[in-house]
Chain A
Amino acid sequence: MNRRDFIQYSVAATGISTIVASCKPENKIKGSILGASFSVGHLLRDKQFSSPSSVEVKQVAIIGSGVSGLTAARQLRQQGIEGMVVLELEKRIGGNATNGENLISAYPLGAHYVPIPNNDLKEYLNFLKSANVITAFTKEGLPIYNESFLCFDPEERLYINGKWQEGLIPQYGVPVNDLQEIERFLQQMQEFRLAKGRDGKDAFSIPTNHSSEDPDFIKLDALTMKEWMVHKGFTSEYLHWYVNYCTRDDFGTPYHICSAWAGIHYFAGRKGKAANADYSDVLTWPEGNGFLIRELSKDLHDYIRTETLVTKVVKESDHVIVQYYDVKSKVLREIKAEQCILAIPQFVAVRLLKDNSRIETVKANFQYAPWMVANIVTDEVEERSGQPLSWDNVIYGSESLGYVDATHQLLQQHTVKKNLTYYLPLTKMNPVDERNQAQNKKHEEWVKQIISELKLVHPNIESAVKEINITLWGHAMVQPVPGMIHGNLRKELARSIGNSIHFAHTDISGISIFEEAFYQGLEAAKKVIQYVGQ
């Protein structure tokens, strides 16, 4: 530790910087709370709708324009199905993968990257090829990724023990024993990554449904990640922080609640090979997965209707009745569809289906973690020593997951202002209480919370920040608690109703990531093709 580090460390440790800073008058930071249309969504719960003012006939109705809904629609379109409609309650399509934009750059409001895909995911690879994310394949069949989309270096940094270190795995100032334990843990994860079950399948695969059913691995779904770690003799505080960070990052679930199978899957599911990238590399865009949404929806604009809240989906003898509230013209409309895909989360789906026992089951078993995402517009900020500003910036021991710099993936040399996207899964209390608290929080309170955390690493952040916009994801993702992935409930809920209502959403794959959503959509589309026009 050099002198400068020491001073910074001791200042940070004694909290002097916060005390000093808190004496200064506060700078009022503008912005608003955007929230996934709560008010519209709540209509579903609270409003009594009269009878529909128009009726249309369609081959297929897809509810939801998230990754799964759009993938289904794209697939159907490619199969020549024209009588299709996609209904989306928000103004923007994309669901959790949507994005915003300002004069500086585009930026994600939720999902912001995908890892290098596993090579057996043909349809997904083909999609990436059509989106020019894969530019070509080598003779050996390895994908060559577009270098403008592989996350630029420097990718990640962690502020720990008074300094920014490279990478997120704690290293700087970490005692040797802990380092050895972290090494042992990663070694074990590597073994899981390569492991195959007795059925010959990968122990941990993507989509999860492709994973081995070998009881040796499935039994990991019966305990929590923390229990598993303790059982295996992992005690390092640094390691525990890191694993908890990972499960909160990917699943919005602290590791003492998260299934060990899901926790290990985070480390062991990725096996992608590429000509110019490693399995641990990621693909990203200034707008995050909003880029993939744009590519998925390229030829679908004529079919998508935004600001349409589906209120009811019921099966009648040979068709499905879909009723939706047209937010713009404030009227209820009806579609008679041969086939319907519910590409929405289960907690909404059950309400549309008006199936009371299903409502109860979902309520009792599905826990949805709320998230707060803040888009921060800022001038250049003061930095602590160590690795410079990176794509992903995490503070050891903090409640948030840190922030991602949207301008990092721009080609130009230099951007004077930045768009930082700050992620905070709300996991201190149970999801219901967290959700209530989040919805009652004022903009200033969020701002204060964010600023006081970031001040540790950017002392002048308060004066550098120009604007902070808050997005609340009330039901961001289902928590993969023990029993969720390998229990029966998920499969039961995923089963189609009477060959005409199909489900596609990441919450029935148990793990909320792009590939899962993509294959959810694809599978639902396959079922539709099978039955449509019969």
Chain B
Amino acid sequence: MQTKENKAQWILLLAVFVIATCGLIYELVAGTLASYLLGDSVTQFSTIIGAYLFSMGIGSFLSKYLGGNLLQWFVRIELMVGFIGGFSSPLLFIVFPLANSFQIILYTLVGITGVLVGLEIPLLMRILEHKVEFKELVSRVFTFDYIGALLASLIFPLLLVPQLGLIRTSLFFGILNIGVGWYLLHYFSAELKRAALLKLTAVFLLLIELVAFVFSEKILKYSETMAFNDQIIYAVSSPYQRIVLTRNKRELRLFLNGNLQFSSADEYRYHEALVHPALSSVTKPSNVLVLGGGDGLAVREILKYQTVKNITLVDLDPEMTKLFKSQSVLLKLNKESLLNKKVKIINQDAFIWLRENQQKFDAIIIDFPDPSSFSVGKLYSTLFYQLVRTAIKTEGIIVIQSTSPYVAPKSFWCIDQTLKSVGFFTRPYHNYVPSFGEWGYIIATPAEKEISFHSLPSGLKFLDSATLEQLFIFPEDMRTKAELQLNKLNNQALVHYFEEEWSKYLE
């Protein structure tokens, strides 16, 4: 009898240990996720830990209201923690696109887990109250509790995140939690009422977590995580594209359909080079049109010109502009440019919008994705540029991101020729963007025009007037001798060049 009692005591203490580990793991997962997704890890971690500890306090307080079969309660709570904690990180990943409601869900989850974990220690102490001497009890329970915490905080960064990733870590501990619950059920079945029903629940929960665990691995295999080295902090499929944001210690990156759009580490090089050569050459620009560029980064640069009164941004995908209007890390990056009063956002196809457009602009910044598919290729065609011509003032200036003249010279010069064929005068240039390599842009004007960069804003990180002059020099390896076709809707020559050149480069 004595040994049986003893064994029971140690099993319960072991449960404390597991619970403590699991509890802290859920908290760490939530904290990590929040700082991945929302940025600013100090704030995220400290608020999550605060909220968690506070909820544990609430749980401890509430424990006095629980009576009757305490062991029964203990097992129930064990199962609940396993379920809620286990699914916390997959759930948070899924709900992240909900933008504002994300924080509410995050703290609710942290709160619930905290309360449940908080209930457990007092409950356990009451269960063992008459079986162990009080000073022994307190000492043992807390020892196990804190050792568990230590273990969690060590294995989480060293083993779990690198090996399992966040989603599977939380599911793994959910499974562990429920496993312990199930074992307790098994061991104490004689002392429990309706043990069979509880057991069934435990098995059921265990199963769905296992399925989720296996399935998550499968999804991960096929989804971005394999393709992206960094942690994915946001992923959504709009009807138009797959938007993925990743983050590592150094930078934040945006991928559209798996193609890198920018890295926060060096996007300023790209966006300064895209916007300023053109815009600084316009005398007092007032009305500016941006086609594509739903990230608001080009707009951020345009807003550096005091004379600019209106910026019209036409981007196909409402998901993109919504994202860059609402997520805190992204707002920090684009300096809330899309929330600026001067900016009007239109979520429409640029081709269709231009066809209906009556306005004329001082400058047009064209920042479309690379012509890697027939559907995007349309936006680099003769017909499209003819429409662009109708939207620019005679004195105005246009600039087009035009892929890499180093990797894809035929593509780059094809865009140049296509622009010329509809009557534009062009000034191609390029700069170095570490994430992309050598990158190319083309300035196009309806009339022959001296470009002088007379109003370059101050405080740029990359461009100054001396650097600017050099951008227009093309060494031989960024030119092509091939005879090039114009890019038209009925030949999509550019898409063919692009595919040929980039696939060779990536081989």
Contact = CB atoms under 8 A, between A and B. Distances in A.
B374 A154 contact: yes
Given A147-B381, A411-B378, A153 B491 contact: yes
A153 B355 contact: no
Interface in A138-176: 147-148, 150-155
A411 B352 contact: yes
Interface residues of B, number: 23
A147 B383 contact: yes
B492 A152 contact: yes
A463 interface: no
Given A152-B492, A277-B490, A416-B239, A388 B374 contact: yes
B492 A153 contact: yes
Given A413-B316, A413-B378, A414-B316, A151 B351 contact: no
A414 B240 CA distance: 7
A147 B352 contact: no
Interface string B381-405: 1110000000000000000000000
B495 to A, nearest CB: 8
Interface string A269-303: 00000001100010000000000000000000000
Contact of B489 (A150, A388, A414): A150
Most buried by B among A151, A413, A414: A413
Interface of A: 147-148, 150-155, 276-277, 281, 388, 411-414, 416
B490 A281 contact: yes
Contacts of A147: 381-383, 488-490
29 contacts: A147-B381, A147-B382, A147-B489, A150-B488, A152-B378, A152-B490, A152-B492, A153-B489, A153-B490, A153-B491, A153-B495, A154-B492, A155-B490, A281-B490, A388-B373, A388-B374, A411-B349, A411-B351, A411-B352, A411-B383, A412-B349, A412-B351, A412-B352, A413-B349, A413-B375, A413-B376, A413-B378, A414-B239, A414-B349
Nearest to A151: B490
A151 to B, nearest CB: 6
B379 interface: yes
Interface in B448-507: 488-492, 495
Contacts of A413: 240, 316, 349-351, 375-376, 378-379
A281 B350 CA distance: 27
Nearest to B489: A152
A277 B489 CA distance: 12
Interface in B337-356: 349-352, 355
A305 to B, nearest CB: 35
Given A147-B488, A150-B489, A413-B378, 18 more contacts: A147-B381, A147-B382, A147-B490, A148-B383, A148-B489, A150-B488, A150-B490, A152-B378, A152-B489, A152-B492, A153-B489, A411-B383, A412-B351, A412-B352, A413-B240, A413-B375, A414-B316, A416-B239
A276 to B, nearest CB: 7
Contacts of B379: 413
B487 to A, nearest CB: 10
B492 to A, nearest CB: 4
Contacts of A281: 490
Contacts of A152: 374, 378, 489-490, 492
A131 to B, nearest CB: 17
Contacts of A155: 490
Contacts of A148: 383, 489
A411 B375 CA distance: 9
A388 B499 CA distance: 13
B419 to A, nearest CB: 15
Interface string B276-293: 000000000000000000
Nearest to A276: B488
**A-B pairs, 5 with minimum CB distance:** A153-B492, A412-B349, A150-B490, A411-B351, A413-B375
A414 B368 CA distance: 14
Contacts of B376: 413
Contacts of B375: 413-414
Contacts of B489: 147-148, 150, 152-153
Nearest to B490: A150
Nearest to A409: B489
A150 B491 CA distance: 10
A470 to B, nearest CB: 28
A229 B352 CA distance: 48
A147 B376 CA distance: 17
